[in-house]
């Protein structure tokens, strides 16, 4: 599993996203929602796992979705899970 403690205690900046992408542990990282203060929803693939990560001020970063990365429909499922989570 991707270690959430490697993320800052706030939304990500564009520079931090680029650092994630360059990490050996990360296959790809893509922002799914940006706010004025940074990236709050993130799709991240580490190894064969695809994670949907969301940030809330009162909770910090949480894993909203965790699945095996098999095809492009998986990214859509992560995006939908993050949208539902954001509406809670």
Which among 31, 59, 63, 35 has a CA at the least distance from the CA of 49? 63
All structural domains of the chain with their residue ranges: 4-87
Cβ atoms of 58 and 83 closer than 8 Å: no
pLDDT band at residue 1, thresholds of 50, 70 and 90?
low
What's the pLDDT tens digit per position in 29-80?
A: 999 988 999 999 999 999 999 999 999 999 999 999 999 998 888 989 999 9
pLDDT at 88 over 70: yes
Residues 55, 34: Cα–Cα separation, whole Å: 11
Q: What gap in Å lies between CA 19 and CA 79, rounded to an integer?
A: 22
């Amino acid at each position: 599993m991707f270690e959430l403690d490697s993320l800052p205690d706030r939304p990500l900046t564009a520079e931090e996203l680029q650092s994630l992408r360059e990490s050996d542990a990360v296959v790809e990282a893509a922002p799914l929602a940006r706010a004025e203060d940074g990236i709050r929803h993130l799709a991240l693939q580490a190894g064969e796992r695809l994670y949907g990560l969301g940030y809330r001020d009162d909770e910090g970063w949480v894993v909203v979705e965790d699945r095996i990365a098999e095809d492009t429909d998986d990214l859509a499922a992560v995006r939908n899970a993050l949208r539902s989570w954001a509406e809670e």
